[in-house]
Chains A and B, each alone.
Chain A
């Protein structure tokens, strides 16, 4: 394991990633708004924490989680294609379970979702449960990724699923508590980021390359897109459920 190289490249990659934000903030804060920071030392420390945090997080993912996850996706796909698990649903059974479990568990560890859920908990004065919200999003993503895997295995067109998903979103929007609607829409966008994308993309591209008759270039993409509508559906459903429960209780 080349730790030095990994630390070096991750650190500079993250700095390059953070640079545009720092530039935009500095230009607007000092040249357009023309005022100093309220508490420069604290903000600077916080920024260093964020950058170091992302670097450590990525290094850890690269050494501990991604190689194992990608390797397991490959092995499970090879097993399924060889048919040792039986036929029909059983043939791809472990793949479906793996897709669901990976969708759920990577979403629970997603830093952007932790940020948005925490903010929502703060400004709602605690009426939005932070953990419940993240649980709902993670279950939604898990369901979406599982359906996405089903689509790749059976070679169905992606837009049927996505359009059907958003039709359900429209119907739920009409009845869900109004204050939860913007938060639910945002959850769709933040679910897939640092942890989820590399693992899910590896699963999608691997499956599309291995299942006979699929083209990885056409069928391998689009698995990530399944996460968003299903996360929105499950947050809207969660909001509806908590309102119904509190009325009864």
Chain B
């Protein structure tokens, strides 16, 4: 990845400030320019796909070419800033906090942080709010709940809290795994076995929603923070390998919502 000057992986966080202070405006601009080039490359496939289908398959040119061009520039600039901000803020912050918890040695504080990070970032997630609202409408049509606005709103809110709680629990399980050094595949495979068993028992309307809720929970800011937490913990604890133990938190966050939402569907049925 570009922006190498911003990531100093092998230097302990308390030594970093000295190294990054100093005249750094020119390299920032140079690296932003390089990151912009990367963003353009990352966006080329989607532009080609849209152009291909628009012009060759549907045989029409887009109406407002200038608006689209301005929009594409916004997307590329936004992606560039986001990637730069990741390396400057989210990754170092997540890792230094993980390191702080290990040095403080308080297990309960770490567990509380893990839960708050998972729950807090999920409960306000727009994609989740949208899916829950759709799901509540589906449930009303299927006759699971009464077909009036109050019942629908209540069902959507409950579903949102169920998913947010599930993600909180997921990060707690994932952090516990890193601390104990358990291999990830038994937990994940066991979890999916549970999903399979629950699929046969849960009401049919809830199954697709449960599966989708697992996929929409991890947002653009949550993912880097949670990844940095895992990698930071695994690097701070002796005997843990960042590659082997640091990743996997996101995997739990996509698994537990399926289990909890199907459980919720079975409980309310």
Chain A interface residues (CB < 8 Å from chain B) = 1, 13, 16-21, 23-25, 27-29, 32-33, 35, 37-39, 42-65, 68-69, 72, 75-76, 94, 98, 101-102, 104-106, 108-109, 111-112, 114-116, 118-124, 128, 130, 138, 158-159, 162-163, 166, 169-170, 173, 178-179, 181-183, 185-186, 188-190, 192-195, 197, 217-219, 221-225, 227-228
Contacts and interface: CB of A to CB of B under 8 A. Distances in A.
B82 A53 contact: yes
- Chain A residues touching B, majority SS: helix
Given A56-B75, A173-B185, A225-B208, A37 B68 contact: no
Contact of B88 (A45, A59, A98): A45
A101 B124 CA distance: 31
Nearest to B200: A159
Interface residues of B, number: 116
A64 B67 contact: yes
21 contacts: A17-B219, A32-B112, A33-B101, A33-B104, A38-B96, A46-B86, A50-B85, A50-B86, A53-B81, A57-B82, A58-B78, A72-B54, A75-B58, A105-B46, A115-B223, A118-B86, A189-B215, A218-B138, A218-B204, A218-B205, A222-B208
Interface in B70-101: 70-93, 96-97, 100-101
A37 B254 CA distance: 31
Nearest to A28: B113
Contact of A72 (B45, B53, B192): B53
B78 to A, nearest CB: 3
Contact of B74 (A23, A57, A219, A221): A57
Interface of B: 1, 7, 9, 13-14, 16-17, 20, 42-43, 45-46, 48-50, 52-54, 57-58, 62, 64, 67-93, 96-97, 100-101, 104, 106, 109, 112-113, 116-117, 120-121, 123-127, 134-135, 137-138, 141-142, 184-185, 188-189, 192, 195-196, 199, 204-205, 207-209, 211-212, 214-216, 218-225, 227-228, 231, 235, 241-251, 253-254
Contacts of B93: 25, 37, 43
- Chain B residues touching A, majority SS: helix
Given A52-B81, A186-B250, A218-B205, A60 B53 contact: no
A56 B84 CA distance: 14
B76 to A, nearest CB: 8
Given A72-B50, A105-B49, A193 B185 contact: no
Given A104-B45, A189-B251, A63 B216 contact: no
Given A65-B71, A123-B242, A185 B247 contact: yes
Contacts of B48: 105
A222 B121 contact: no
Contacts of B251: 182, 185-186, 188-189
Given A28-B116, A49-B81, A49-B89, 16 more contacts: A17-B219, A18-B221, A20-B123, A28-B112, A50-B221, A53-B84, A54-B82, A76-B58, A112-B219, A121-B1, A182-B244, A189-B218, A218-B204, A221-B135, A224-B211, A224-B215
Contact of A123 (B96, B195, B225, B246): B246
